[in-house]
Amino acid sequence: MTHSNLALCRIINVKLSATRQSDSTKTAKSEIKTVKVQIKQSQSIDLKTDCRLVVLKQVKKLSSQQAELNRATGGLLDRLQGAEQFEGKLGQIVTIPVPAGIPAQNLVLVGAGEQRKLSTEQVRNLLDKVAKKLKVAQIDEAHCDLDALAEKSDTATVARHLVEAIGDQRYQYVKRPKAARDAKAGKTFRLTFLCEDRKSAAAARAGGLAGVAIDNGKTLAKNLGNMPGNVCTPSYLAAQAKKLVKSHKLKTKVLSEKDMQELGMGSLLSVSRGSKQPAKLIVMEYFGAKDKKQAPHALVGKGLTFDSGGISLKPGAKMDEMKYDMCGAASVFGAMVAVAELQLPINVVGVVPSSENMPDAIATKPGDVVTSMSGQTIEILNTDAEGRLILCDALTYTHRFKPATVIDIATLTGAVIVALGHQTAGLMGNDQALVDDILSAGETSLDHAWQLPLKETYTKQLKSDYADLANIGGPTAGTITAGAFLSCFTEKLRWAHLDIAGTAWGGAAGKRASGRAVPILTQYLIDRAAD
Q: Is the pLDDT of residue 186 over 70?
A: no
In one-letter notation, the amino acid at residue 86 is: F
pLDDT over 70, % of the chain: 91
Residue pLDDT, tens place only, 471-488: 999 999 999 999 999 999
Of the candidate ranges 10-14, 56-60, 370-374, the one whose mean pLDDT is the lowest: 10-14
Quick one: pLDDT band at residue 43, thresholds 50, 70, 90? confident
**Mean pLDDT to the nearest integer, 449-462:** 97
The CATH number assigned to the domain with range 35-207 reads: 3.40.220.10
Lowest mean pLDDT among 35-49, 212-226, 434-448: 35-49
Radius of gyration of the chain measured on its C-alpha atoms: 24
- Tens digit of each residue's pLDDT (9 = 90 or more) over 133-174: 999 999 999 999 988 899 899 999 999 999 999 999 999 888
Is 170 a catalytic site residue?
Answer: no
Among 240, 210, 258, residue whose Cα is nearest residue 301: 240
Pick the CATH number of 224-363+382-460+479-530 from 3.50.50.60, 3.40.630.10, 3.40.50.970, 3.40.1050.10: 3.40.630.10
**Could you tell me the pTM of the whole model?**
0.94
Catalytic residue of the set 71, 242, 249, 314: 314
Model confidence at 510, in pLDDT bands (50, 70, 90)? confident
Contact in structure between 489 and 374 (CB atoms under 8 Å): yes
Mean pLDDT of the 506-514 span: 91
Identified catalytic residue from 160, 218, 323, 388: 388
Kindly report, as residue ranges, where domains of CATH 3.40.630.10 are found in the chain: 224-363+382-460+479-530
Under the banding of pLDDT at 50, 70 and 90, the label for residue 83 is confident
Note whether 291 and 396 are within 8 A (CB). no
Q: Is 314 a catalytic residue?
A: yes
Q: Where do you find CATH 3.40.220.10 in the chain?
A: 35-207
Q: What tens digit of pLDDT does each residue of 199-237 get?
A: 999 999 999 999 999 999 999 999 999 999 999 999 999
What percent of the chain stands above pLDDT 90? 82
| pLDDT the model gives residue 29 | 46
| 489 burial type by CB count under 10 A (0-12 exposed, 13-18 middle, 19+ buried) | buried
- Which range is most confident: 54-68, 178-192, 222-236? 222-236
Residue 19 banded pLDDT, cuts 50, 70, 90: very low
Q: Identify the band that residue 68 occupies on the pLDDT scale cut at 50, 70 and 90.
A: confident
Q: Which long-range contacts (CB under 8 A, 24 or more apart) does 125-130 make?
A: 125/91, 126/90, 126/91, 127/158, 127/161, 127/162, 127/165, 128/165, 128/168, 128/169, 129/91, 129/93, 130/53, 130/93, 130/162, 130/165
Per-residue pLDDT, averaged over 454-481, amounts to 97
Query: What is the average pLDDT across 10-18?
Result: 54
Of residues 455 and 59, more confidence is placed in 455
Q: In the predicted model, is pLDDT for residue 185 greater than 60? A: no
Mean of the per-residue pLDDT values of the chain: 92
